[in-house]
Amino acid sequence: MKNFKLLDCMRADCRFTITNTFRTAGYTAPVYDKNGNNIAVDLSITTGNLSCSACDRKWSFKDTYNDTIYEEIK
């Protein structure tokens, strides 16, 4: 799994916790380039929640192959 791009917070002491994560398994047949590297796209989706212990804000997230979407939980 790739690293999450965590949200920027205005506070210097921000600490994020990731909870309630779920990952769907999406299969893609292997596709190789001329150097033998597997270039198939990962179709899996990871969802969960982020919480900041410093500012008490919370977000839900959806992480896919090329995008991470955050939505603040009010």
**pLDDT digits over 20-45, tens only?**
999 998 888 899 999 999 888 888 89
**Using 50, 70 and 90 to split pLDDT, how confident is the model at 1?**
very low
Residue 46's domain comprises: 17-73
Closest CA to 62 of 28, 23, 25: 23
Give the C-alpha separation, 69 to 74, whole Å.
16
Helix/strand/coil for 51: strand
Task: Determine, yes or no, domain membership for 12.
Answer: no
Task: Determine, yes or no, domain membership for 64.
Answer: yes
The per-residue pLDDT for 24 is: 92
Task: Determine, yes or no, domain membership for 50.
Answer: yes
User: How many domains is the chain partitioned into structurally?
Assistant: 1
Return the sign of the alpha-carbon dihedral for residues 4, 69, 59, 40: negative
